[in-house]
Amino acid sequence: MRALAVRILRRHLPDHEADLLPLARDQSPRVLREVLLALARLDSRAADQTLLDLARDWNGQDRAYFEAVAIAARGISGQQAARFPTARGGYETLQWNDSRRADWLFTQLVERPGARFDSRLVEWTRLLRPRDADEYLLTRLEQEDLTAATRSAILAGLGPDPDAADGRRVLALLADRMTAAHLRRLALRAMSRNLSGGWSELRDSGELTTALTRALEEPELRADVLSLIGRLHLADLDGVVLSLATDRSAPVADRVAAIDVAAQFAPQTAGSRLGDLFDDEDLHGEVEAAVIKALVTLVDGETLNQLLRAPGISSVVKEKLVKDLGKSTLGALWLLREVRSNSLETALRNLAVAAGIEHPDASVRTLFLDLVPLTERPQFLGATVDRQEVLALTGDADRGREVYATGRCTTCHAIEGRGGAIGPALGVIGRKYGREALLQSILEPSLAISPDYATSLVETKDGRILVGIASPGGTSHPLLLRIGVGEVLKLPAEQIVSVTRQRVSLMPEQLAGSMTAQDLADLVAYMSWMAEPQKTDRVRLGVWVLLFL
């Protein structure tokens, strides 16, 4: 009730200022917030002093209290009525363009002689000096011996788009080997946030290269530095990263991370330098696996040829390389060329062909089929599908993801905002249908078509015949026809001869014709797997299955 009383009293200010100010000693946070809001309407020395006392009492946690101080700090002299047009008419609010009280409060709170500059004062600085807070705070960071908590608060709260001058100061802090590791890590995070924005001019600077190279010397920072280099694709540092990747004395985890980043950059010498690591008889298993993964990503033909022919490389490594290459499209095509040119030894050739004819992409499989006798080729489903045979098989959801990923479902469907809009967005299809119904939706896409996604045949006066998903127009509005990913045609009503609704889905009836029964079982397993609630987060990391209902 006291808070309500203050709110009522606020309507009668400044006449009742003398009644309001004593309430600043109330113990209720709600009452104090109402007092602060009321202080915004008062312009007197007594009101200023009351505001200062309340600001000093802030506990550093109550954000509503903090924001109430922000409103009061502008004061009545900083308020200007402004009227904004909205859909419901004019809306009157207050803008602040006078920082007199805020400047005075900043001086009294932050720059008071003897004041200990702590994380609370960092917050007050950002509130009361928003235009140059970052510059002010970084200056104090450089010039004063602040506590670790205060320095952390400054670095962690750098604005969303500070200028490049601030970035150079943060770089200097990062490059300083005497700076504590946790502060350098905060500096790294600040760089990560801003190198694509206000600090973009620093991306190609020698200062950034120097700072990150020095930071890589600190074991505690290497993971963060490598993550930053890889995420922002700072190619100027590829030599430094490759040196760490091939440093036999570096910790295994650091080498693995560096190898992964080096594969992203694909510098000219990456393949050969990583391949040379197999000369190490004591090569750690995790490093070996990372090198194989990188070589599969790079598909450096010269290096791969040397490794697959080298007598000193174990058969286990060679077989792993061939199997993993066969799982990617680019790798499988490279293997196909080597097989056709008889560059591989018999065992590896057979392994490459076996991987090729099992590739999830039907186009890649077809290329390998010529290398296999007719009697040994896998039997595809073609026009006839034995549904019970498919349902009797045990599907592999992970392989089903690969089968899906090589298809063209995203041309028509969207998941989480990605893909086309010709078909419905499908994120939880596995929760809606069981395995048998899922299989039927693939084999008979025209059996049940949602009215919102029915196909229409549109004939225009200029002789065009168009097929897509039509949205009704009218006599004065154009008909909208979705015909592809992000492609919508606007057809004026006077140009349309006819619009005929079709009873056939745009999804091909023979979609499964180029699949094996196992492919189809795997695809159904993947869609069913998405129905499991505990898998939701993992699904978001991979590729979603998109199929017409």
* 261: CB partners within 8 A, 6+ apart: 226, 229, 230, 241, 245
Confidence of residue 533 (pLDDT cuts 50, 70, 90): low
- Please provide the average confidence, as pLDDT, over all residues in the chain: 80
* Structural domain includes residue 382: no
The Cα–Cα gap between 310 and 423 comes to: 51
Q: Which of 119, 138, 127, 18 is nearest to 71 (CA)?
A: 127
> What values do phi and psi take at 217, rounded to 5?
-70, -20
Strand partners, 482: 469, 488
* Over residues 273-282, mean pLDDT: 88
Task: Residue 529: give its domain's CATH number.
Answer: 1.10.760.10
Domain co-membership, 58 together with 204: no
Domain co-membership, 231 together with 294: yes
Quote the pLDDT of residue 86.
41
Tell whether the model's pLDDT for residue 535 goes beyond 60.
no
Tokens representing residue 503 in the block: 């009873």
Q: CA geometry: angle at 193 spanning 187 and 198, to 5°?
A: 100
Quote the pLDDT of residue 299.
87
Contact 426/549 with Cβ under 8 angstroms?
yes
* Structural domain includes residue 546: no
Quote the pLDDT of residue 386.
82
Quote the pLDDT of residue 160.
61
* 264: CB partners within 8 A, 6+ apart: 230, 233, 297
Higher-scoring residue by pLDDT: 443, 78: 443
* Over residues 219-248, mean pLDDT: 89
Q: How many other β-carbons are positioned within 10 Å of the β-carbon of residue 381?
A: 19
Of 47, 82, 106, the one marking the end of a domain is 106
Quote the pLDDT of residue 544.
38
3-state per-residue secondary structure call for 483-505: EECCEEEEECHHHEEEEEECCCC
* Over residues 365-394, mean pLDDT: 75
Domain co-membership, 126 together with 72: no
The Cα–Cα gap between 31 and 4 comes to: 8
- pLDDT of 75-128, one tens digit each? 654 444 444 444 444 444 444 445 788 889 999 989 888 888 888 888 888 888
* Structural domain includes residue 50: yes
Q: How many other β-carbons are positioned within 10 Å of the β-carbon of residue 453?
A: 18
Tokens representing residue 502 in the block: 């079709």
Tokens representing residue 23 in the block: 């309430």
Q: What is the DSSP letter of 544?
A: P
* Over residues 494-515, mean pLDDT: 70
The Cα–Cα gap between 464 and 96 comes to: 59
* Over residues 286-301, mean pLDDT: 91
* Over residues 388-395, mean pLDDT: 89
Question: How many CA atoms lie less than 13 Å away from 475 in the CB half-sphere?
Answer: 0
Domain co-membership, 440 together with 356: no
pTM of the model: 0.54
| Cα-based distances in Å from 513 to 143, 362, 426, 447, 506 | 72, 10, 23, 18, 16
Domain co-membership, 57 together with 102: yes
Quote the pLDDT of residue 76.
56
Q: Which of 422, 405, 404 is nearest to 413 (CA)?
A: 422
Contact 380/515 with Cβ under 8 angstroms?
yes
Of 353, 376, 399, the one marking the end of a domain is 376
Q: Identify which of 56-70, 85-99, 380-394, 512-526 has the greatest average pLDDT.
A: 56-70
| Cα-based distances in Å from 269 to 263, 298, 321 | 11, 11, 19
Quote the pLDDT of residue 445.
73
Tokens representing residue 94 in the block: 């207050």
* Over residues 445-449, mean pLDDT: 74
Q: How many other β-carbons are positioned within 10 Å of the β-carbon of residue 45?
A: 7
Tell whether the model's pLDDT for residue 259 goes beyond 90.
yes
Domain co-membership, 71 together with 158: no
The Cα–Cα gap between 442 and 510 comes to: 9
The Cα–Cα gap between 287 and 259 comes to: 8
- pLDDT of 322-358, one tens digit each? 999 999 888 888 898 889 889 999 999 999 999 988 8
* Structural domain includes residue 17: yes
* Structural domain includes residue 381: no
Q: Which helix (H) or strand (E) holds 84?
A: strand 79-86
Q: CA geometry: angle at 143 spanning 108 and 104, to 5°?
A: 15
The Cα–Cα gap between 225 and 208 comes to: 11
Tell whether the model's pLDDT for residue 511 goes beyond 80.
no
Total domains in the chain come to: 4
* Over residues 25-44, mean pLDDT: 88
**Residue 229 burial (CB < 10 Å; 0-12/13-18/19+)?**
buried
Q: Which of 129, 97, 131 is nearest to 110 (CA)?
A: 129
Q: Worst-scoring range by mean pLDDT, 180-194, 280-294, 409-423, 514-528?
A: 409-423
The Cα–Cα gap between 426 and 405 comes to: 15
Domain co-membership, 362 together with 422: no
Quote the pLDDT of residue 134.
83
Domain co-membership, 496 together with 513: no
Task: Residue 176: give its domain's CATH number.
Answer: 1.25.10.10
Higher-scoring residue by pLDDT: 309, 405: 309
Higher-scoring residue by pLDDT: 170, 267: 170
Higher-scoring residue by pLDDT: 429, 105: 105
* Structural domain includes residue 187: yes
Range of the domain at 475: 456-501
The Cα–Cα gap between 259 and 277 comes to: 11
Domain co-membership, 300 together with 402: no
Q: Which of 347, 302, 299, 286 is nearest to 326 (CA)?
A: 299
Q: How far apart are the first and last CA of the chain?
A: 58
Taking the CA atoms of residue 405, residue 407, residue 409 and residue 411 in that order, the dihedral angle to the nearest 10 degrees is 110
Quote the pLDDT of residue 520.
86
Of 73, 106, 139, the one marking the end of a domain is 106
Domain co-membership, 176 together with 306: yes
Domain co-membership, 367 together with 397: no
| Cα-based distances in Å from 498 to 311, 479, 530 | 71, 11, 41
* Over residues 371-380, mean pLDDT: 70
* Structural domain includes residue 112: no
The Cα–Cα gap between 99 and 15 comes to: 24
Domain co-membership, 83 together with 134: no
Quote the pLDDT of residue 127.
86
> What values do phi and psi take at 91, rounded to 5?
-130, 120
Q: Which of 99, 148, 160 is nearest to 122 (CA)?
A: 148
* Structural domain includes residue 191: yes
Tell whether the model's pLDDT for residue 176 goes beyond 50.
yes
Tokens representing residue 91 in the block: 């809306």
- pLDDT of 182-201, one tens digit each? 888 888 888 888 888 878 88
* Over residues 132-155, mean pLDDT: 83
Contact 413/532 with Cβ under 8 angstroms?
no
- pLDDT of 481-493, one tens digit each? 777 555 788 888 8
